[in-house]
Amino acid sequence: MEERPVTLSQPEGRNDFRLDGKVAAVTGGGSGIGRAIALKFATHGAAVRVLDLSLSDAERTCQQIASAGGNAAAFACDVTDQKQMKDTFAKLSEQGPVSILVNNAGISHIGTLESTTEEDFDRIFCVNVKGFYNCMSAAIVSMKVNGGGVILNMASIAGSAGLADRFAYSMSKGAVIAMTYSVARDYLAFKIRCNCISPARVHTPFVDNYLRKTYPDREQEMFEKLSQAQPIGRMAEPGEVASLALFLCSDEASFITGVDYPIDGGFFNLRD
């Protein structure tokens, strides 16, 4: 096989992971990991569409992007409402075809099988499973028409590891991983890649609020305990998850589809 010529004319990393000319929709982009992904994508040239249940949160993310010279627009939407999601993506398409979908909007729940009520179960399923389905269903037709795209689903190590007191949440994230594999398989011919990321604990406002509510006098102690549960000795930062998301949605990852990527601080392979 003939070797391709090597060029060193560009400074290392100068053009890596660029998303110029691409429109990226990020659900749950108003806070936490979603906000970090939206900011990272905008920094690397994407026109970002921030979708969130809270319009004010989405607008704050867009203001951050705009203040840095980026391109962003905010949309209030409920991922559990299929008609609303289809209408939202129709509006997005009017501004340019969406070539990247980051399915990030989700909720958590703590409980065992016995302590999880039917209402709890239905709520988790509706947001974390049906919500992902609704968003992919709304985006896939446009991607097919426009020659391809990338779908990135936010899963969790809870979807493939046995975590205590995470019955419903684990169920939902296991479904996300399975849906990712299925979509990747079914849309190969349409040049649509689909992967997912499975983080361990990430230090987001959700964690701080949970500790404040559950352990009002032991917040720092419990924060350290949760941090040490990762072999690396700390929680991930949202920006670290965003960096992996950027790679998987960039052209540098064009040979990658149907993969669940753990970003877990050694949780799976380095536990005692």
Q: Is 169 a catalytic residue?
A: yes
| CA dist., res. 234 & res. 221, Å (int) | 13
Within 10 angstroms of residue 255's Cβ, the number of other Cβ atoms is 6
- The active-site residue out of 133, 169, 187, 215 is 169
Nearest Cα neighbor of 173 from 198, 200, 139, 145 is 198
| CA dist., res. 185 & res. 261, Å (int) | 17
| CA dist., res. 260 & res. 258, Å (int) | 7
* DSSP result, the chain: -PPPPP---SPTTTTTT--TT-EEEEETTTSHHHHHHHHHHHHTT-EEEEEES-HHHHHHHHHHHHHTT-EEEEEE--TT-HHHHHHHHHHHHHTS-EEEEEE-------B-TTT--HHHHHHHHIIIIIHHHHHHHHHHHHHHHTT-EEEEEE--GGGTS--TTBHHHHHHHHHHHHHHHHHHHHTGGGTEEEEEEEES-B--HHHHHHHHHH-TT-HHHHHHHHHHTSTTSSPBPHHHHHHHHHHHHSGGGTT--S-EEEE-TTTTTS--
Q: Active-site positions?
A: 169
